Structure 1
Amino acid sequence: MAKSQWWVYMIKTQSGKLYTGISTDVARRFKEHRGELGANKGAKFFRSDAALKVVYQEACVDRSTASKREAEIKKMQRYQKLQLVDSSGLINA
């Protein structure tokens, strides 16, 4: 069985907050956060502030590496997270 690719991602909310998480399928996870794949599949974080768009993705070799990177990003100050988003060129936040 092939190993799944793990991703660290950031989602911007309607109010401008940044949420950081990990997944093997960022597009599916984003839909879960938006409630498109059934109730209560997304993070509680989005219940009062809807997910707007994925603004950052970073590939990791395994779940452990993704979890460690997620923790690093969560410890960053907002301006550092925004720099990371800007440097990725993924989406204009």
Structure 2
Amino acid sequence: MSWFVYLLECNDGSIYTGIATDVEKRYAAHCMGKGARYTKSHPPTQILAVFEHENRSAASKAEYAIKQLTAQKKRALCQQEMTEQL
């Protein structure tokens, strides 16, 4: 089963990073205030990027690495992902 690292833009402009096996379902939970403590007080407005990984361990390691980035670098990573998908 694939795991995904996803980045969400929140209503205050901040970026939330998480992992899930079903990003759309997890995003819906975040939007309903049931996803994570952070997104309860910073509701998400859109999915910025999704990165697929072969297992939970790889996704967790990638999530940690992304969380170490500045917001500017996270946005650049999302922009790069969007460009590669086109």
Q: Provide the TM-score with structure 1 as the length reference.
A: 0.84
How many residues in Structure 1 have an aligned counterpart in Structure 2? 83
4+ long deviations beyond 2 Å: none
Matching residue within 43, 47, 55 for 2:48:
55
Is 1:89 matched up with 2:82?
yes
Q: Which residue of 2 aligns with 1:30?
A: 27
Match of 1:21 among 14, 18, 28: 18
In structure 2, the residue matched to 1:67 is 60
Identity of aligned residues (%): 33
Q: Aligned partners of 1:66, 1:47: CA distance in 2, in Å?
A: 23
* Structure 1 unpaired stretches of 5+: none
Distance 1:74 1:28 in 2: 22
Bigger proportion of residues as helix: 2
Q: Does 1:44 align with 2:37?
A: yes
